[in-house]
Structure 1
Amino acid sequence: MRNFFLVAVAALSMTACRQNDSVIESDSSFDMKSASAEYTSQCSKPVQTVSGNITSSNNHWTADKIWEIDGIVNVQSGVTLTIEPGTFIKAKPKTNNTASGVLVVQKGGKLIANGTSTAPIVFTSYNLLDCDGDTGGAPGDFGGIVILGDAPINTGTATIEGLSGSQYEYGGTNSAHNGGSLTYVRIEYGGFDLLAPNSGNEINGLTLGGVGNGTTLDHIQVSYGKDDAFEWFGGTVNASNLIAFAQDDDGFDFDNGYVGTITNALALADFNSTHSLSGGNPDSNGIELDNNAGGTSTPLLTHPIVNGLTIIGARNNTQGALYENGIHIRRHGQLTLNDALVTGYPTGIRVEGTGSALAALNLSTIYAHGFTTATIGTPAISNTATGTPAATFFLTGTPFFNSGSWSIAPRTWNYNGAWTNYSF
C-alpha cells in the first residue's frame, strides 16, 4: 500500500533493450525477453478471449491456448475456475485507465491454478507473447490477480483496494475460508491504477483480501509489478516459497489484521525497475506492514509470522537511495520474524510509532544491514551492519541482482527451479 506512484526511472541503455517501453534486466541470467524459448514456444498458440463473469465451474483454461483476459474477469461466488499446468494468460490491451487483465475471485469463488515445477502457470505481458523479438514487457501490461474471502479483517468488511462495487467486498468470520489453490504460478508485469495515474489506488500482482487458511499458496513469483508484488488485507491464509522480484513498490505488504504464516520468502530488488515515491521521497520497501490505514489499535492486529525471509536490495548506497526500508513496521502493526536476512536498503528494519512491534523466537537469527541505519526502534539485534557496499552476512554467493551471477546460498529452497524462468 502506498500513497503515490512514480513512473519508471531511466531505462537500461544496453543493446539488449531494443524497445523504449520495456523494463529488461541487465543480467542475462534473468531471461524475461520475448526471444526466450519459453515465450516463443507459446506465442503461436491460438488465443481465447474471456470477458465478464465466469458463472459455471465447467470453465477450464487449458494449455493448448493462450488465454486473454479482456477487462475484469470475475469468478463469481460458488464457481471454481481451473487452470491447467503450463497455461499462459495475458491481458487484452486497453486504453489508458481502463482495467484489463484483472482476474478477480469473488467472495465464495475459487481459483485452482496448480502448475508444476517444469510447467508453471504464467500470467504475463501480451508483448512477450506476440512472436516479435523487438517488443518486451513493461509494468502494467497485465492487470493482476485478486482473491477475496470471508476470513476476519480488522475493519469489519471492506471493498478491495483498486476496485469498486459491492461485488468486490471482503471480510467476515470464516478463518477457514477456501479460495482455492495456487502453486507454481508466475505473475509478470502486473499492476493497474483504476482511477487515474498516481491516485494511490492500485491493483497489485497478487492481492489477497480476507483470504482464509483453507486456501493454498505455494511457489508463487511476482515480477516487475507496477505496485506491490504481494499484498494481504486481513485474512488467515498461510503461504510458502514466495518470490517478489523488481516490484515498483513493496515486495510484501500486510494490512487490516492479517495473521497468517509465511514460510520461505524472497524480495529481490532490481534498481533498474520502476520506483514509487511518497511526497517526493522513495517509498519502496521489502516489507511494509500496517495494522490499518488509520493507524488505530484494534482487537485483531496485523501480525504475520515470517519464517525464512530474505530481503535483498541494492549493492551500493547510490542504487540503494532509490528505496526506503528493508522492513517498515508502523501504525500499530506487529511482525514476528524467524531466520531473516535484510540487506541493501537505506534502513534495514524500521519499527515506527506506538503499538508497532518486532518480535522473534530467537533474535540471533535476524541479520539487518542499512546503508545509513541498520535498525530503528527494534529489539537488540546483534547481527547488524551499516555502510556500503551492502553486507552479505553469511551468504556465500553474490546476492545482489545487478552484480553479475546471482546466488544466495546457503538459503536453498527452490529459488532456481525451472518454474522461475530464471537461472537463480
Structure 2
Amino acid sequence: MRNFFLVAMAAFSLTACRQNDSLVESDSSFNMQSSSADYAVGCNLPVQTVAGDVGSGGVPTTWTADKIWEIDGILNVPNNVTLTIEPGTYIKAKPKSNNTPTGVLVVQKGGKLNANGTVSAPVVFTSYNLLDCEDDTKAAPGDFGGVIILGDAPINTATGTATIEGLSGSQYEYGGTNSAHNGGSLTYVRIEYGGFDLLAPNSGNEINGLTLGGVGNGTTLHHIQVSYGKDDAFEFFGGTVNASNIIAFAQDDDGFDFDNGYVGTITNALALADINSTHSQSGTAPNQVSDTNGIELDNNSTGTATTLLTHPIINGLTIVGVSSSNTLYENGIHVRRHGQLTVNDGIVVGYPRGIYVEGTGSLFTSTNFTSVFVHGFNTDAAGPDTNLIPAANRLTGAVSLPIFGLPQPFFNNWPVDLGIRNGDFFGAWTQYNNY
C-alpha cells in the first residue's frame, strides 16, 4: 500500500482551485491506472454499504461526503422517496465475482435523486479500484453498475410503458403521460467505469453509465460527465427531459443513444472518443463489425413509424473521434429506423463516416445547415438531407481543421484543443485521466 498522506494533503489543497483536470497533461496511452489526486482525498474515508431500498432497512435518504457509499447489488429509490447526495461524495459498487449486477442505483417511477455537486466538489460514482489507496489495482469498465432514472413521461411503445433495458420486473417500468415528470436533479456529477451486461457480452441488454427512461422535463440535468463506460455513456429511452453541458468520454459503445420517442433538447454536448477504450461490436467472430458511434438514434428497435417519433434537438454538439481511420469506430452520427435528429451548431470529426442517415423516414435536419461541419475519413455524410450541409463544411480523408475552429481535436493526438467549443468541458469538476 502506498503512503497516501502527502498525496492526499496536496490534493486537498488543489481541489478548490483546480481549473482543468489535466486534460492537456494526461498520458495519451490511457492505461486506466489508479490513482489521481481526486481519489487520494477520498480513499481513506470510512465505507458504508447500502442495499435494498433507500429510506428503509437502514439506508439513509441523505448521503454525506464524510464516507464512501458502497452499493451492494441494485439499490432502489422507491416511489415518493428522495435520495439526496451531498457535494464531494464518492459512490462505488460492492465487488461481485458472478454475473449479478452490482453498484446499480435505480430511481423508480415517483422517486427522486438530488445529486448536486459543485465545480470543486462534484458527486462521483466510480470504480472501487480508485478508492482503495492501492498502487497495483486498476479501474476497468463495469466496475460500477450505473445510474438509472425512470419516470412517467411519454414513450412510443405500443402500451406507452416498457421495462428498462438491463433489468427485469414491474418495479423497473417506465413511461406514461406526464411530460413534466420530475425525477430530481443531477448537477456537477461524474459517472465512471459504469456498465453491466445482464446476459453476456454484446447481448443488447446492458446497463449504461446514465440511463434515462421516460424522464420528464421537470428533471434537472447539467454538467454531467460519463466516462470509461462498458456500454453507452448516456441513453435516453423516450421522455422529454432536457440537459446541458454533458460529456461522454472514452465509452465502449455510443456516446449518446436516443430511442423510444425521446424529444428533449440538449445544449452543449461533447462526445470524446479514445482509441484505447474497450469497443462494442455486433455479430459473431470472425464477422464482427464495429458498433461504436458518437450518436446512435432509433425511433424504436423494430424500425416502425409511430405518432411520437424519437427527435432530439441538440444545440452545440461536438463529436471528436480519433486521429486516423480505424475499424473499431463506425459513425460520428448514425440516424436510423424512422428516427429524426436536429443539430444546430454542430461539429463531427474523426470517424470513418461522419453522418449516416439510414432508411425510410429517418431524418437529419438543422435550422441552420451552415452551422453544421462534418468530417469522415472515408465518407463525410450520407443519407436523406445530409446534402443540405454546405460542401465547404464537408471534409474527407486527412483533415485540415481551421474551418472547424478546432486546431487539434483528436483525443489521441495531444494536446487536445477544442478551440472555442467549450461547454465547460474542461472545468475543475471534470476528469480525463486516472493515474
- What are the superposed Cα offsets for residues 30-66 of structure 1, whole Å, 9 maximum, x if unpaired? 8964232111111000000000111369511100000
Letter in 2 for 1:131: C
Letter in 1 for 2:137: T
Q: TM-score, normalised by structure 1?
A: 0.91
Establish whether residue 55 from structure 1 lines up as the match of residue 55 from structure 2.
Answer: yes
SS of equivalent residue, structure 2 residue 180: coil
Q: Give the % identical residues.
A: 72
CA distance in 2, matches of 1:390, 1:235: 39
- What are the superposed Cα offsets for residues 134-181 of structure 1, whole Å, 9 maximum, x if unpaired? 212100000000000000000010000000000000000000000000
SS of equivalent residue, structure 2 residue 429: helix
CA distance in 1, matches of 2:358, 2:243: 26
SS of equivalent residue, structure 2 residue 91: strand
How far the C-alpha of 1:27 sits from its partner, in A, is 3.6
Query: 1:369 is matched with which residue?
Result: 375
Establish whether residue 245 from structure 1 lines up as the match of residue 249 from structure 2.
Answer: yes
SS of equivalent residue, structure 2 residue 224: strand
Q: Is the 8 A contact 1:324 1:346 kept in 2?
A: yes
Within 5 Å, which residues of 2 pair with 1:156-195?
A: 156-195=160-199
Q: Is the 8 A contact 1:392 1:399 kept in 2?
A: no
- What are the superposed Cα offsets for residues 51-98 of structure 1, whole Å, 9 maximum, x if unpaired? 011136951110000000000000000000000000000000012311
How far the C-alpha of 1:199 sits from its partner, in A, is 1.8
Match of residue 68, structure 2, among 60, 66, 69: 66
Within 5 Å, which residues of 2 pair with 1:277-356?
A: 277-279=281-283, 280-317=288-325, 320-356=326-362
Establish whether residue 219 from structure 1 lines up as the match of residue 233 from structure 2.
Answer: no
CA distance in 2, matches of 1:72, 1:58: 15
CA distance in 1, matches of 2:321, 2:92: 29
Letter in 2 for 1:325: N
RMSD: 1.7
SS of equivalent residue, structure 2 residue 42: coil
How far the C-alpha of 1:28 sits from its partner, in A, is 2.7
SS of equivalent residue, structure 1 residue 240: strand
CA distance in 2, matches of 1:182, 1:245: 18
CA distance in 2, matches of 1:58, 1:50: 9
Relative to structure 1, the CA distance from residue 321 to residue 196 in structure 2 (aligned partners, 3 Å threshold; closer, same or farther) is: closer
How far the C-alpha of 1:394 sits from its partner, in A, is 2.6
Relative to structure 1, the CA distance from residue 69 to residue 392 in structure 2 (aligned partners, 3 Å threshold; closer, same or farther) is: farther
Aligned residue pair count: 397
CA distance in 2, matches of 1:244, 1:394: 20
Q: TM-score, normalised by structure 2?
A: 0.88
Relative to structure 1, the CA distance from residue 315 to residue 26 in structure 2 (aligned partners, 3 Å threshold; closer, same or farther) is: farther
Q: Is the 8 A contact 2:226 2:249 kept in 1?
A: yes
Q: Is the 8 A contact 1:370 1:390 kept in 2?
A: no
SS of equivalent residue, structure 1 residue 398: coil
Within 5 Å, which residues of 2 pair with 1:44-193?
A: 44-55=44-55, 59-155=61-157, 156-193=160-197
How far the C-alpha of 1:416 sits from its partner, in A, is 1.1
Letter in 1 for 2:364: L
CA distance in 2, matches of 1:412, 1:125: 27
Relative to structure 1, the CA distance from residue 284 to residue 308 in structure 2 (aligned partners, 3 Å threshold; closer, same or farther) is: same
CA distance in 1, matches of 2:358, 2:108: 34
Letter in 2 for 1:124: T
Establish whether residue 405 from structure 1 lines up as the match of residue 415 from structure 2.
Answer: yes
The answer for unaligned runs of 5 or more in structure 1 is 1-24
How far the C-alpha of 1:207 sits from its partner, in A, is 0.2
CA distance in 2, matches of 1:396, 1:259: 29
Query: 1:28 is matched with which residue?
Result: 27
Q: Is the 8 A contact 2:347 2:404 kept in 1?
A: no
Question: Which of 370-379 and 381-390 deviates more?
Answer: 381-390
Q: Is the 8 A contact 1:344 1:391 kept in 2?
A: no
Query: 1:415 is matched with which residue?
Result: 425
Letter in 2 for 1:113: A
SS of equivalent residue, structure 1 residue 420: coil
Question: Which of 98-107 and 33-42 deviates more?
Answer: 33-42
The answer for unaligned runs of 5 or more in structure 2 is 1-23
Q: Is the 8 A contact 1:225 1:248 kept in 2?
A: yes
CA distance in 2, matches of 1:37, 1:31: 16
- What are the superposed Cα offsets for residues 76-123 of structure 1, whole Å, 9 maximum, x if unpaired? 000000000000000000123110000000000000000001000000
